[in-house]
Amino acid sequence: MELTQAKQFEIAEVQQWDRWYRANFINSIAGFRAACLVGTVNTQCIPNLSVFSQIVHLGADPALVGLINRPRVATPHTLKNIEESGSFTLQHIPKTLLHKAHQTSAKYADDVSEFSAVGLTPFYIPGIVAPFVKECSIAWAAQLVEIVPITHNNTFLIIGKIQTLLAPETCIQADGFVDISQAESVASVGLDAYYEANLIERIPYAKP
């Protein structure tokens, strides 16, 4: 089917829709994203874990990663912990951990660790304050460099400098490409749909 056959919706019409229907529509049309678990720790040393899908690769040299954090009232703990500790980890979610990973999006109290609540194990690496998730196989850690408030909708772009990366050698190809699908890492759409990803092909660098 081509765009000429697609139904067109003006934003003024979309804004009249039921809130949940509208959110599903706008969130899902944004497309496939990496679903990752973000590990942080608070000042009482309680580890925190949240599923995030708004993750942006900002560059390879320097290696920078960005997270979009919702308004503070909606997703308070990850933002606060990163502000206070300057550290966070990211891990791809293997298919086998999908339900536990999704459960971390529940609004647990500040003194409850999502690790214990959902049954995952914090794992620490010397020199990195934030916890990793032992059950995951691909992860990386970043040190906070900047938090950019997006005043238009009260969200935040959290920018971190990548410090360390972990991946099974079986997923790393000869030229350095990490085939995250080998670790059964899932992709997500919107806030409740998860997909399996399969490599179609790798296409050489395009030239005019």
Ligand X SMILES: Cc1cc2nc3c(=O)[nH]c(=O)nc-3n(C[C@H](O)[C@H](O)[C@H](O)COP(=O)(O)O)c2cc1C
Q: Which residues bind ligand X (CB under 6 A)?
A: 35, 48, 50-54, 68-70, 74-78, 102, 105, 107, 188, 191
- Other CB atoms within 10 A of residue 169 CB: 5
Name the residue nearer to ligand X (CB basis): 75 or 89.
75
Closest distance of CB 100 from ligand X, Å:
12
Distance in angstroms (rounded) separating the CA atoms of residues 33 and 136: 18
Name the residue nearer to ligand X (CB basis): 88 or 123.
88
Closest distance of CB 177 from ligand X, Å:
25
Closest distance of CB 156 from ligand X, Å:
8
Name the residue nearer to ligand X (CB basis): 69 or 137.
69
Find the radius of gyration of the CA atoms of the chain: 18
Alpha helix segments (H runs only) across the chain:
11-14, 19-29, 76-85, 98-103, 114-118
- The CA-based angle 135-34-169, given to 5 degrees, is 50
Closest distance of CB 112 from ligand X, Å:
9
Residue at 91: amino acid letter = Q
Name the residue nearer to ligand X (CB basis): 46 or 162.
46
Distance in angstroms (rounded) separating the CA atoms of residues 113 and 131: 11
